[in-house]
Amino acid sequence: MVDLNQIYAHIDTHFNDHIEEIKRFLRKPGISLTGEGMHESTEMLLDLFRSLGAINVHLVEFEDGWPLVYAELRSRDPQAKTLLNYGMWDVMPVRPELWRVPPFGAEIIPAQDIGLNPDWGPVLVSRGCYNQRGPLLASLNAIKSIKEVTGDIPVNLIFTIENEEELGSPHMAEFRGRYMDNLKRADAFHYHRMIQNPEGEHAIFLGAKGIVTLELSVEGGEWGGPIGKPANSPDDAWVDAPAWRLVWALSSLKAQNGRVQIEGFYDEVQPPTDEDLDLIEKIRLATDVEQLKSKLHIENFKGGAPWETLLRNYYLDPVLNIDGYESGYTDEGVLTNLPHQALAKLDIRLVPNMTVDHVLLCLRRHLDKYGFPEVTLKKMPGGYDWYRTPVSEDIIQAIISATVKHGVKPQLWPAMPWSFPGSVYAKPPLSLPMGTSGLGRGGWAHSANEYITVEGIRDHEKYTVTLLYEYAKL
């Protein structure tokens, strides 16, 4: 019988070394959008798995993208379960002028220096520390501690760490197809995060929304508008303007109350289950609304709608969002012209039982019906489906049990309100039950001063130990 307290003590003894190891990795950029530091940081990750004694450590190459890191660790127990671990290694670009410290400096500062609760203690600030290198590295530190204390691990582990999550995970489905025989050995899969809320409760996700990203564009042509180059702004009196056409098309997609106006958009949406509504009610009762407003830097919620309605929308409803709009001259001053083209980037978050093909078909029909046939619709690479995991699955029960053993209150969420490519493993042909979990606080992914708490790293490492042993015995 393994004494987990011995492993926890080992983590405490070596915790400063663990922090330094995490900082060393965070200081190497890995920005998939620009390529900065991608090769160097990937080699560091390969070396880390080799130092853990992992087998079959290698890169999974793709013809037109960044490679995925694959590795395995085997238990000596022939009856051991196999847990597939999803992770991501790439990070978003930064604007250094917005940061309190250098964004790749991996510095530890007081929480209050970036406007956080001083009771949280020191925080580690760096791009990628929260999303998602910090939790991943903390979990690997935990596995290293297990091996150093016991000489073995309680479950078999397969690691699939992608380098293109911030690009929409365009090659995960291809990877699954190529590695199906390996992945079929797994009993479940897990995604490490640091997701304690401000009140200290542990958010446990039972699923995630899917996502499809797309471009809508208009160029001058036979329908009207200048062809090939801008016209003068006075020509707006007698020449169609692509910029206005796209603005009007976008405006037709959504009412001011937030309801998507595309006919058929909601046809596939599954009504919330009784379990969904019960979980939402528990979240409502546990949430400090004023504190949430402060965190979001807002005075009021959207349209002044009731908090209960918006909470349900956030977790259970599809979302259509404009990510960016580009047309004509946008530099300093004004250049009076009539642009010959306009472009908008959108993302749509999908919920059960929506499909990408149906949503895009409805969008195309809408544009044609309401007089915008000149608007070009282009689906961007990547994107993924929604998924759900029943609370009765062993991986969810192990997460709940491990959470309680560390004296933390579990808070079950019906699904992430955001997206990640879990459906690649959670839906056919693999259909693996999935858990996303991890103690520790962090935040501001994709933003300046991204952070995780130092003590949260310690908590995450010990939680990982407990989770693996709890899952092994179910």
Summarize pLDDT for 57-76 with one digit per residue, the tens: 999 999 999 999 999 999 99
Residues 359 and 448 reside in one and the same domain: no
- Identify whether 355 is part of a domain: yes
What is the Cα–Cα distance from 418 to 314, expressed in whole angstroms? Answer: 9
Mean pLDDT value of segment 315-337:
94
Residue 74's pLDDT is: 97
Residue 345's pLDDT is: 97
Residues 367 and 443 reside in one and the same domain: no
Residue 293's pLDDT is: 80
Q: Is the pLDDT of residue 106 over 90?
A: yes
Residue 9's pLDDT is: 98
- Identify whether 97 is part of a domain: yes
Q: Which CATH number goes with the domain that contains 245?
A: 3.30.70.360
Residue 438's pLDDT is: 97
Q: Is the pLDDT of residue 296 over 80?
A: no
What is the Cα–Cα distance from 274 to 276, expressed in whole angstroms? Answer: 5
Residues 338 and 415 reside in one and the same domain: no
- Identify whether 284 is part of a domain: no
Residues 201 and 216 reside in one and the same domain: no
Residues 109 and 79 reside in one and the same domain: yes
Summarize pLDDT for 143-191 with one digit per residue, the tens: 999 999 999 999 999 999 999 999 989 999 999 999 999 999 999 999 9
Residues 346 and 224 reside in one and the same domain: yes
- Identify whether 281 is part of a domain: no
End-to-end CA, the chain: 15
Q: With contact defined as beta carbons under 8 Å apart, do 113 and 10 qualify? A: no
| Number of separate domains in the chain | 2
Residues 106 and 215 reside in one and the same domain: no
Given 316, 351, 379, which residue is the final one in a domain?
Answer: 379
Residues 338 and 441 reside in one and the same domain: no
- Identify whether 294 is part of a domain: no
What range does the domain containing 441 cover? 4-206+389-473
Residues 231 and 370 reside in one and the same domain: yes
Q: Which CATH number goes with the domain that contains 131?
A: 3.40.630.10
Mean pLDDT value of segment 319-324:
96
Residues 176 and 258 reside in one and the same domain: no
Q: With contact defined as beta carbons under 8 Å apart, do 8 and 462 qualify? A: yes
Residues 359 and 399 reside in one and the same domain: no
Residues 307 and 241 reside in one and the same domain: yes
Given 345, 379, 413, which residue is the final one in a domain?
Answer: 379
Share of the chain above pLDDT 90, in %: 86
Summarize pLDDT for 402-426 with one digit per residue, the tens: 999 999 999 999 998 888 899 999 9
For 435, the token pair is 């858990």
Given 354, 379, 404, which residue is the final one in a domain?
Answer: 379
What is the Cα–Cα distance from 215 to 379, expressed in whole angstroms? Answer: 6
